[in-house]
Structure 1
Amino acid sequence: MSERVLIIAVEKKSSEAERFHYSIEELISLTETAKGEVVDVITQKRDRIHPSLYIGTGKIEEVVETIESEAIDLVIANDELTSSQVRNLGEYIDVPIIDRSQLILDIFASRAKTNEGKLQVELAQYEYLLPRLHGQGQALSRLGGGIGTRGPGETKLESDRRHIQRRIDDLKRRLETVKNQRDQYRKRRKSNQAFQIAIVGYTNAGKSTLFNRLTKSDTFEEDQLFATLDPTARQVKLPSGFQAIITDTVGFMQDLPTSLIAAFRSTLEEVLEADLIYHVVDASHPDHHQQQETVKTLLNGLGAESVPMLTLYNKKDLLQTTFIPFEKPALTISALDKRDRDRVLEATEKMMKQLFVSCDFQLNKDEGRRLQQLKTQGITEHESFDETNERYLLTVYLPKEHPLIPNRTEESEF
């Protein structure tokens, strides 16, 4: 049976009404993803958030009445709450209170499958809770299980700060080991001259759907937020026969907890190693422009602004009006349409050619192994067989500094 949830939110007079509306819609989706049922939303317009109560005392009376009349199990605030705000609200409200960040951390805790993902979520939860330990006691004693309670248990959180700090240090050490293993794996891919594509985008933009259709794999995909948590890499074959590595990454979101961004940095570093980024945008979402900007801001924060990017405006089948892309290069697609996926791969090859070096080769007919290497490790632009000299003539685009690039001029002339 799902928990009955009341959402409380402060609309600051300086903020945009439309963006505030979308943040509420997003919080409702997050709650549903965590298997909660949003019964009501209570908002208050204020110049600024109440420093000690989050909302004003008048609104608290309305909240208390709604909790009683609607049999509310949980209150979720749209903004991050301080420990004193949680404690003070607890004086009036007799049900658990969590905030947006705790809800996101809770979803991540339920989705983490790999050892690294679990370690990262636990670290993020501890780093979020450490400065809020004062004031958590009463709230925690009322949490008997449910949304916001996954991850570190009650007894751990009520331990002293030194114990939690030791646990944080231990988690960081273990994550550093995992990160080193991931770095080795990435270096091996680089040494194998693998061209790497990273799929990024706002959560629920359709990244995993595109990834699965392009690679014919079956990673978890669902119409809900944060369906993918752990990065997955697969091989994808381009029209020319060139084989690249494509990685599906965790979805981005505005107002992500800073501890979560820090904890998932090693996972997101897959993006830094990429030779090309697919930025998937849900073109059918009313706030897609803001979502796109959120992703770009986070990418810039990671230092990935110089990686070439192909923007894919997804879900064109859900569009009601003509859509005009405002990024270039870009394609408007449906990840479910094979013709659109073919267009994505063709556009990928076109971009790759701009990054690669064009080389001409003459190969004897017994150099089949080298011929195959060129076809899989480069993009073949032209191929013919000279029957007189019994030679293959090829024009191939190869990554710069690729070992197959001819060193001497005479080797590269027909």
Structure 2
Amino acid sequence: MIQKKDTVLERAVLIGIITKDQDEDKSKEYLDELEFLTFTAGGNAIKRFTQKMDMPNPKTFIGSGKMEDVRKFIEENDIGTAIFDDELSAAQERNISKILNVKVLDRTNLILDIFAQRAQTSYARTQVELAQCEYLLPRLRGMWTHLERQKGGIGMRGPGETEIETDRRIVRDKISLLKARIKTIDKQMAVQRGNRGKMVRVALVGYTNVGKSTLMNVISKSEVFAENKLFATLDTTVRKVVIQNLPFLLSDTVGFIRKLPTQLVDSFKSTLDEVREADLLLHVVDISHPNFEEHIESVNKILGEIDSSDKPIIMVFNKIDAYQAEPFDDTDLVAKRTEAHYSLNEWKKTWMSKLGNKALFISALNKQNLEDFKKRVYDEVREIHITRFPYNHFLYPDYDDTPPL
């Protein structure tokens, strides 16, 4: 059995579907990501199950035949968890649990669990707890399945319903309390942001695990936690950075992901205030990932949701040291050359060429092209600074703390 840090990984199976909106390649890609999420949460994906369907089964997500295959595999291979790639309804989760008799999770539940592990500050823990409560509320009935086994017993129905309603009221009260707490912390953080003065603010944004924290550490010479796992960074970190005597604030934010749970988008919108209030966004992209273009689309979609898509953006294509194009056989007359076979130089001649100096290609880990990166960021920050402070002393060669008369 695979081990990690002297602890046994939880054995799990992954389950996804192939539909007209999600073809086989897309389904495989999502399951790859789900496997990475599973590993990040402390699990080991033993096997994947997929089924072609027009739409998910409203009762059990997948068909009865495929569900029976999953059940047999779980019984024969000592599997403790079944993880579904899409969010399950309360009824689906309840029905599947009865059939498989193991822990049943969906992508949303899995991401919430990772967030709960990663939250370090009181603020992040409060946001995660709020998202968990909102996810739990419609699923409380499943917590009372022990009563269903005694259906028909004298006095069972009334107390069971009463206890469920009591729990619902407790969870609703908890949600109200957490929202009030977040509102209070938001006010405190707004004061903190106001106390930073009018320094230019730059925010790192991007898909999860693209190297934002590594870049943050290199540029700010700090020790922000960075790890090759999804959502390694959850708490927003802000550092003062100085390039050529020009100071600005650099913030590292939580990474985005496709199929991001609604509860997390809502509860973490306040964390993304750092993005909303930024003067410049550095959109970091892992160019070595085969689906980096879709990652860009996902990030742009969330930026639009938080009214930040119209801000100045520099595209930072990171991990050029890890980029490898798929080999192409010129002698194969049937084979078709696709984007997967593009070299970095060929990529630069595509839609990226329209970005001009708004596109940078670096390796934060190996510190490749970082001087070009710093110069580009300096030029952009300086331009914003000039607009904000037209008579500021940074425009003058003799730097001192006294603005010109």
Shift of 1:307: 1.3
- Structure 1 spans left out of the alignment, 5+ residues: 142-155, 362-372, 384-391, 397-402
1:7-406 aligned within 5 A: 7-138=14-145, 160-189=167-196, 192-238=197-243, 240-321=244-325, 322-323=343-344, 324-325=347-348, 326-327=351-352, 328=355, 329-357=358-386, 374=393, 378=394, 380=395, 383=397, 404=403
**Residues of 1 paired with 2:77 and 2:304: CA distance?**
44
**Residues of 2 paired with 1:158 and 1:209: CA distance?**
47
Question: Letter of the aligned partner of 1:196 in structure 2?
Answer: R
Shift of 1:348: 1.1
Shift of 1:15: 2.0
Shift of 1:342: 1.9
**Residues of 2 paired with 1:337 and 1:71: CA distance?**
42
Partner of 1:149: none
Question: Letter of the aligned partner of 2:375 in structure 1?
Answer: E
Secondary structure class of the residue paired with 2:369? helix
Shift of 1:320: 1.6
Q: Which digits, 9 at most, give the CA deviation of each residue in 1:12-33, with x for residues without a partner? A: 1332332222110000000000
Q: Superposition RMSD on alpha carbons, in Å?
A: 2.4
Q: Which digits, 9 at most, give the CA deviation of each residue in 1:134-171, with x for residues without a partner? A: 224349x9xxxxxxxxxxxxxx9995211110000000
**Residues of 1 paired with 2:10 and 2:320: CA distance?**
35
**Residues of 2 paired with 1:67 and 1:158: CA distance?**
34
Q: Which digits, 9 at most, give the CA deviation of each residue in 1:359-407, with x for residues without a partner? A: 998xxxxxxxxxxx82xxx3x4x63xxxxxxxx6x8x9xxxxxx95x7x
Shift of 1:249: 0.4
Identity across matched positions, percent: 39
Q: Contact 1:123 / 1:168 at 8 angstroms: preserved in 2? A: yes
Shift of 1:306: 1.8
Secondary structure class of the residue paired with 1:134? helix
Q: Which digits, 9 at most, give the CA deviation of each residue in 1:254-301, with x for residues without a partner? A: 111101110001101110111111110000000100001100100011
Q: Which digits, 9 at most, give the CA deviation of each residue in 1:167-204, with x for residues without a partner? A: 00000000101000111111122xx2211110011000
Which has the larger share of strand? 1
Q: Which digits, 9 at most, give the CA deviation of each residue in 1:192-230, with x for residues without a partner? A: 221111001100000000001111111110001000000
Q: Which moved more, 1:130-139 or 1:106-115?
A: 130-139
TM-score (norm 1): 0.81
Secondary structure class of the residue paired with 2:371? helix
**Residues of 2 paired with 1:273 and 1:122: CA distance?**
25
Q: Contact 1:7 / 1:78 at 8 angstroms: preserved in 2? A: yes
Partner of 1:399: none
Number of residue pairs aligned between Structure 1 and Structure 2: 357
- Structure 2 spans left out of the alignment, 5+ residues: 1-7, 149-162, 326-342
Q: Contact 1:86 / 1:136 at 8 angstroms: preserved in 2? A: no
**Residues of 2 paired with 1:31 and 1:11: CA distance?**
20
Question: Letter of the aligned partner of 2:362 in structure 1?
Answer: I
**Residues of 2 paired with 1:253 and 1:349: CA distance?**
29
Partner of 2:152: none
Q: Which of 1, 4, 13 is the aligned partner of 1:6? A: 13
CA, structure 1 residues 353+136, in 2 after alignment: closer, same or farther (shift >3 Å)? same
CA, structure 1 residues 233+103, in 2 after alignment: closer, same or farther (shift >3 Å)? same
Secondary structure class of the residue paired with 1:224? coil
CA, structure 1 residues 157+345, in 2 after alignment: closer, same or farther (shift >3 Å)? farther
